[in-house]
């Protein structure tokens, strides 16, 4: 099957993957655009897993100031080398992350950062809600787990749907960039400021 340059460019524009990777994915997917996107996302997750243990001590502090100057974010995003930190692709990722924080107001970077006492308090609330609703005891644990996962998707940056593409979580976005830039990338910390808060 012949893959046109326009198809490759459209896939690259959507995924940020390299031209050859896009062409290969389209060939494997027999020209099916959505299937090619899925293949590239799966490869990105595999590539990110291989790099997860590498140290990230370079990077930049990005910022986002919302129109009117009443809301602002500083975010430290790390990578392995100053070379990657200087690339437009990395800097665009950092801007997107800062904008995500401004829009979605997470409290933590990852679920591992949530304090245990806070998790226990949330579990107790969800358990009590399920009891009051008359849910059977045997499904109580699944209900609590489902509500806890929803809680994580609200308060943990990595688990939030990405504002520019809600099909992706922020973690999946970062893993896709890891696959493209060939370096481990991690959000170290952030601060969100709003006038009057």
Q: Which class is domain 115-154?
A: mainly alpha
- How far apart CA 170 and CA 177 sit, in angstroms, is 11
Using one digit for the tens of pLDDT, what is the confidence trace for 18-58? 667 777 888 888 888 888 878 777 666 545 555 556 666 78
- Identify whether the C-beta of residue 184 lies closer than 8 Å to the C-beta of residue 54: yes
CATH fold, domain 58-109+156-194, is Tetrahydropterin Synthase; Chain A (3.30.479)
| Topology agreement, domain 5-51 and domain 115-154 | no
CATH classification of 5-51, choosing from 3.90.226.10, 2.102.10.10, 1.10.8.10, 3.40.50.2300?
1.10.8.10
Residue 8: predicted pLDDT:
79
Domain ranges of the chain: 5-51, 58-109+156-194, 115-154
- How far apart CA 1 and CA 9 sit, in angstroms, is 17
Closest CA to 164 of 69, 92, 107, 84: 92
Which residue has better confidence, 111 or 51?
Answer: 111
3-class DSSP assignment, residue 104: helix
Confidence of residue 160 (pLDDT cuts 50, 70, 90): very high
Residue 111 has pLDDT above 70, yes or no: yes
pTM of the model: 0.70
């Amino acid at each position: 099957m012949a893959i046109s340059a326009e198809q490759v460019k459209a896939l690259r524009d959507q995924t940020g993957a390299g031209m050859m990777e896009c062409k290969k994915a389209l060939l494997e997917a027999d020209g099916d655009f959505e299937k090619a996107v899925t293949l590239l996302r799966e490869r990105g997750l595999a590539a990110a897993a291989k790099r997860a243990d590498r140290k990230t001590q370079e990077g930049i502090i990005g910022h986002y100031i919302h129109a009117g100057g009443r809301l602002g974010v500083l975010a430290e995003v790390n990578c392995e080398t100053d070379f990657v930190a200087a690339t437009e692709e990395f800097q665009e990722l950092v801007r997107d992350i800062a904008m995500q924080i401004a829009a979605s107001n997470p409290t933590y970077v990852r679920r591992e950062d949530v304090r245990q006492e806070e998790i226990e308090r949330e579990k107790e609330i969800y358990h009590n809600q399920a009891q009051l609703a008359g849910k059977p005891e045997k499904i109580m644990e699944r209900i609590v787990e489902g509500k806890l996962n929803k809680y994580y998707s609200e308060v943990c940056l990595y688990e939030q749907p990405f504002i520019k593409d809600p099909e992706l979580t922020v973690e999946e976005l970062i893993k896709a960039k890891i696959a493209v830039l060939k370096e481990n990338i991690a959000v170290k910390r952030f601060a969100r400021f709003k006038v009057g808060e």
